[in-house]
A and B are shown apart, each in its own frame.
Chain A
Amino acid sequence: MTSTFEDRVREDLHAAAGEVAFDHLDPASVIGLGRRAARRRGLSRAAAATAVSLAALAVGVALGDTAPRRAVAPVGTATSSTPSTASTATARVNAGAFGSRSELRPAGSTMAYTVRGLVSDGHRFAALENSVEGVPRTVAGLRLDRPELADVAYTDGPLAILVTQGPVDSIRMGSTGFALDHLGSAPVAGTSQWLTVASIPASWTKPWQDLAWTTGTGQRGAARMPASFTATIPAKGGGAGWSPLPVRFTARPTPTGTALVEVEKADSPTLGLQHLGLLTLDPGQSQEFARGDGGAYATLYGLTRSKPVSVAPRGDTAARFVDGWTFTTVEVTGGVWATAIQLTGMDDSSPDPVPSVSWTDGTGASHSFDLP
């Protein structure tokens, strides 16, 4: 009897694994850890969503006000443009509440929310809250004087949120798009406005587009949504175990032309997204880069005004990126490209392993950005 070597490996793997004795894994312990992880994930995602939502609106406030207030911190310098003053945003959520709370239970949904008013930086917001395992969290905030802007938050899936002058009867993705499910509206106490939520199918991967809404009295309107793009950083060859890395860029509309893009990483296309950061690119600013996730600086990401056709992160040693790097870029909003770079073969032995990144656009012009 002959068998192939594949059969032999298969038999030996099964035999070896079959003879190994493992300690029991207690389901109750796993469930307890899972509950805590779900709570942390919910709080983290809600905090990120709230920060993004409020930061998007804060940018608009800053550029429209005579005394700018930015929710961003200064970082590196760019040699091909004026020095950058914008970077990862950290919105302040030091808001005071006004009015009483309203309960919001979308039809057909298992989720329940609370709507209330918030005052932050002198502006009034409609805040959407819910509770995970008994822990209240703020899902999103929409400025009450910016009803033309809608947003997307994540609870049990993507959720469209908008503010109108009355309860909404139906919402569509665009004027001719499909109707969203699990619709619900609740008044924002202390105002004449209502906050409405509706579920966006989780499988919907096209860029977010305008929401078209209709009230019970026949009033119609539209609100701008963020534009969301999913891209994948290609895998790098070799045996180091690097895999393709899905990322999502979501551009929030701002009334002033500032590009504001949230960056998320997905460990897998189906396993949810991890908020990595928020980048802003002001009018006149040509580029912005920041380090990505983890202490290992596994990624860099940035915004540019022209499309990068090649990128070259500079390491602090000649052999820093001995295994190279890969990148992906997409145009997230008019004339703004978002780029994510996955670095390989890098260790953490240096406190500043990536001093700068260079890139070339389609005209052959070279650009450089010094990372902080």
Chain B
Amino acid sequence: MSRSDKAARDAAFADFVTRSTPSLLRTAWLLTGSHDAAHELVQGALVKTYVVWSRVHEDEALPYARRILINHRTDTWRKTRGEHPVAEPPERPHHDGTTADDRDRVVRMLAALPDQQRRVVVLRYYNDLSEHAVADLLGISVGSVKSAASRGLATLRASYPTNESTTEGSLR
């Protein structure tokens, strides 16, 4: 590869980093509940993405990086013999206030979910991926996705205050 080719490749990757980082960081934060862990996770995923960048099609880059992020995290779980859900809530967002506190509640509840359920809930309801897309990304069956989503939502639902009208909706 010539020097100009490398420069063009790096420029395209730098642009991708700039565009994709906010989304990846937020996904990572929901998965980890920690700013530092999210930064570390996203940086690791982007570094891995750079290594295979020449084989990634432009419009597939973000899903590809997200796949690496999820697998990077899975790999970390394997190497650390599994992650145990923490009793303590994740770090609070930088912005304080009543609204943020309310909204952060779901993230605190999310941290208490088993890992697989947490990943499925984040991918389904934050990244808005279809059940098939989540199954493909995690390498599990669609049935497993449905099961994990159902269980995750049931746990979250049980933790939500019961006097809110939105808790009356049925789980699909």
B116, A241: Cβ atoms closer than 8 Å: yes
B50 touching A34 by the CB < 8 A rule? Answer: yes
List the one stretch of A19-27, A85-93, A215-223 in contact with chain B. Answer: A19-27
Report yes or no: A110 in contact with B1, Cβ–Cβ below 8 A: yes
Question: In the complex, what's the smallest C-beta–C-beta distance from B14 to chain A, in angstroms?
Answer: 4
The secondary-structure label for the interface of chain B is: helix
In the complex the two chains form, is A41's CB within 8 Å of B82's CB?
A: no
Q: Name the segment of A46-54, A74-82, A191-199, A265-273 touching the other chain.
A: A265-273
CB distance from B81 to the nearest CB of A (A): 5
- Is A15's beta carbon under 8 Å from chain B? yes
A240 and B172 CA atoms in complex are apart in Å by: 25
Residues of A within 8 A of B71 (CB): 243, 267-268, 271
Cβ A241 vs Cβ B77 within 8 A: yes
Cβ–Cβ < 8 Å partners of A243 in chain B: 71, 74, 138-140
The 8 Å CB contact of A240, one of B13, B48, B114, is B114
Query: Does residue B86 face the partner (Cβ distance < 8 Å to A)?
Result: no
- The stretch among A253-261, A292-300, A302-310, A330-338 that forms the contact with chain B is A292-300
Q: Which residues of B contact A267 (CB under 8 A)?
A: 71-72, 74-75
Query: B29, B48, B67, B77: which contacts A17 (Cβ < 8 A)?
Result: B29
Cβ of B58 < 8 Å from any Cβ of A? Answer: no
Q: Hey, what's the 0/1 contact readout for A279-293 against B, CB within 8 Å counting as 1?
A: 000000000000000
B45-67: CB near A (< 8 Å → 1, else 0) gives 01111111111000000001001
Q: Is the CB of A271 within 8 A of B125?
A: no
C-alpha spacing A38/B22, complex, angstroms:
24
A22-B25, A37-B50, A241-B115 in contact; A16/B93 too (CB < 8 A)? yes
B121 CB-CB contact with A under 8 Å: yes
What is the interface size of chain A, counting residues whose CB is below 8 A from a CB of the partner? 61
Mark out the residues of chain A between 218 and 270 whose CB falls within 8 Å of any chain B CB in the assembled complex. 232, 235, 238-245, 267-270
Q: Assuming the A-B contacts A4-B172, A21-B93, A244-B140, are A12 and B105 also in contact, with contact meaning beta carbons closer than 8 angstroms in the complex?
A: yes
Chain A hits for B35, CB < 8 A: 20, 22-23
Binds B, one of A161-169, A177-185, A341-349: A341-349
A316 at the interface (CB under 8 A from B): no
* A35 CA / B140 CA spacing, docked (Å): 32
Q: B47–A34 contact, CB under 8 A? A: yes
Cα distance A186–B68 in the bound complex, in angstroms:
38
Chain B residues whose C-beta falls within 8 Å of the C-beta of A67 in the assembled complex: none
For the complex, give the distance between the alpha carbons of A24 and B17 in Å.
10
Contact A298 B10, CB 8 Å, known A4-B169, A10-B126, A13-B126: no
Chain A residue nearest in CB terms to B149: A6
Which among B1, B35, B156, B166 has the highest number of chain A CB atoms within 10 Å? B166
CB distance B82 to A240 under 8 Å?
A: yes
Whether A241 contacts B114 in the complex (CB less than 8 A), given A3-B169, A22-B35, comes out as yes
Whether the pair A13, B51 counts as a contact (CB closer than 8 A) is no
Instruction: Indicate if A206 sits at the interface (CB-CB under 8 A).
Output: no
Chain B residues positioned under 8 Å from A13 (CB to CB): 30, 106-107, 110, 121-122, 125-126
**Given A25-B21, A34-B46, A110-B1: A9 touches B26 (CB 8 Å cut-off):** no
Q: Are B95 and A17 in contact (CB under 8 A)?
A: no
Among A4, A19, A33, A298, the residue within 8 A (CB) of B95 is A19
Contact between B156 and A9 (Cβ–Cβ < 8 Å)?
Answer: yes
Q: In the complex the two chains form, what is the Cα distance from A2 to B22 in whole Å?
A: 31
A135 is an interface residue with CB less than 8 A from chain B: no
29 A-B pairs within 8 Å (CB atoms) are namely: A4-B170, A6-B171, A10-B126, A13-B106, A13-B122, A17-B27, A18-B26, A19-B93, A20-B25, A20-B29, A20-B95, A21-B93, A21-B95, A22-B39, A25-B21, A27-B15, A30-B50, A31-B13, A31-B14, A34-B53, A37-B47, A110-B1, A202-B55, A244-B139, A267-B72, A268-B67, A270-B64, A272-B52, A294-B79
Enumerate chain A interface residues (CB-CB to B < 8 A): 2-10, 12-25, 27-28, 30-31, 33-35, 37-38, 41, 110, 156, 202, 232, 235, 238-245, 267-272, 294-296, 298, 344-348
Not counting A20-B95, A271-B68, a sample of 17 additional A-B residue pairs whose C-beta atoms are within 8 angstroms of each other reads: A5-B153, A5-B169, A6-B169, A14-B126, A22-B21, A22-B25, A24-B21, A34-B50, A35-B50, A38-B51, A156-B54, A241-B74, A241-B115, A272-B51, A296-B80, A347-B81, A348-B81
> B residues near A, CB below 8 A?
1, 5, 10, 13-15, 17-18, 21-22, 25-27, 29-30, 35, 38-39, 42-43, 46-55, 64, 67-68, 71-72, 74-75, 77-83, 93-95, 100, 103-107, 110, 114-117, 119, 121-122, 125-126, 128, 138-140, 144, 153, 156-157, 160, 164-172
